[in-house]
Amino acid sequence: MSVQPDQARLSVWEFRDSIQKDLVPLSTQFSYFSIATTLAEDDLRDYLEDPVTALPPALSAMLPRVAILLVPYLERVNAKTNGRNGSKSGKTVKERREPKPDPPKAEDFVSFERPPEGRGIGSTLWMAGDEATIITAVQDLEVADYHYELYHQLATLAGETLPFEQLQDYRALLREELTLRVHGEVDEKSWLLKQALQRRQTNMRRDTKGFRVYALKSFIDTMTLYLHGICCDIDVDTGPRQLPSRYLRRRLRLLSGAFPPPEGYAVFPEDVDQEVSTRKQLAD
């Protein structure tokens, strides 16, 4: 493997290219590589096997091949971020699906030293042909926060590659919330976009650029929560910008209907109880 830790920094494109032959298969769809830490059996399960196994089969079937790379740090230099992590977006679906896209600008770097204040990012994502690459900085990251970063990038990948009709029901739900002036959102970026949309637009039935941008970010944030909730026992943050629980529940139910959890997994407490009850009945 050609990457050496004494190289202080490599562009993510150079890094991804240098470890192509060292990717380790997790399944026919997912592979991984780690230069951040030696993965013991428990680490492999926590960082890779459990999160991938918990993905809804219907969602996985719609995603491209995915390489997950674990590195010490990620640094972003002179670039605009799209959200709280390093997700690259802004291209149209058609552009993203071109077979040979140009390499991304070398603005994100894999670093073996802690980046300067304000330049460290948690993860980054891009598409190259029919494969997506997710790079996550794990040196100072708790496993729960790593799960968030991974699922956020997978949710971003879903939002930007799923067929338009797959998002129609979610958009309709958002229009209803906007018409009712429902307060709050799932995460900070979608909340800011929602506020901006409500200031500029009064007719929430109009399909404007502002609505599409907000709808995509809202879908990504909600899908992140949904995927994270399937894999792990998590608590939803409370605060003045949080979407009321009954509306959040409707969103998660919609996603659960479109992308059911794998067998043996559940999102809601009553689903867990139902799963236990079903197993007991089968055992009897």
Same domain, 158 and 19: yes
Question: DSSP letter string over the chain?
Answer: ----TTS-EEEHHHHHHHTGGG-EESSSSEEEEESSS---HHHHIIIIIHHHHTS-HHHHTTS-EEEEEEESEEEE-S---SSSSEE---S-HHHHT-SSPPPPPTTEEEESSPPPTTTB-SEEEEEETTEEEEEEE-TT--HHHHHHHHHHHHHHHHHHHS-GGGGHHHHHHHHHHHHTT---BSSHHHHHHHHHHHHH-S-TTS--HHHHHHHHHHHHHHHHHHHHHHHS---PPPSTTBPPHHHHHHHHHHHHHHSPPPTT--SSHHHHHHHHHHHHHHH-
Whether 7 maps to a domain, the answer reads no
Whether 26 maps to a domain, the answer reads yes
Among 24-28, 35-39, 157-161, 264-268, the least confident range: 35-39
The more confident residue out of 24 and 269 is 24
Which of 138, 162, 186 terminates a domain? The answer is 162
**pLDDT given for residue 13 in this prediction:** 86
Same domain, 185 and 156: no
Same domain, 41 and 146: yes
- Mean pLDDT within 178-203: 93
Same domain, 118 and 188: no
Same domain, 93 and 46: yes
**pLDDT given for residue 129 in this prediction:** 79
**pLDDT given for residue 284 in this prediction:** 47
Whether 82 maps to a domain, the answer reads yes
Asked whether residue 276 carries a pLDDT value surpassing 50, the answer given is no
pTM to 2 decimal places: 0.83
> The domain containing residue 59 runs over which residues?
15-162
Whether 34 maps to a domain, the answer reads yes
Which of 127, 162, 197 terminates a domain? The answer is 162
Same domain, 83 and 114: yes
Same domain, 100 and 193: no
Same domain, 230 and 178: yes
Same domain, 126 and 150: yes
Q: What is the pLDDT of residues 69-92, one digit of tens each?
A: 999 999 988 655 433 444 443 332
Number of domains making up the chain:
2
**pLDDT given for residue 251 in this prediction:** 97
Percent of the chain exceeding pLDDT 70 equals 81
**pLDDT given for residue 99 in this prediction:** 35
Which of 143, 162, 181 terminates a domain? The answer is 162
Q: How far is CA 9 from CA 1, 225, 230, 234, 256, in A?
A: 16, 32, 35, 34, 41
Same domain, 235 and 132: no
Same domain, 155 and 178: no
- Mean pLDDT within 205-232: 94
Whether 264 maps to a domain, the answer reads yes
**pLDDT given for residue 93 in this prediction:** 31
Among 63-72, 99-108, 157-166, 234-243, the least confident range: 99-108
Same domain, 145 and 207: no
Reported confidence tier of residue 37, pLDDT bands at 50, 70, 90: low
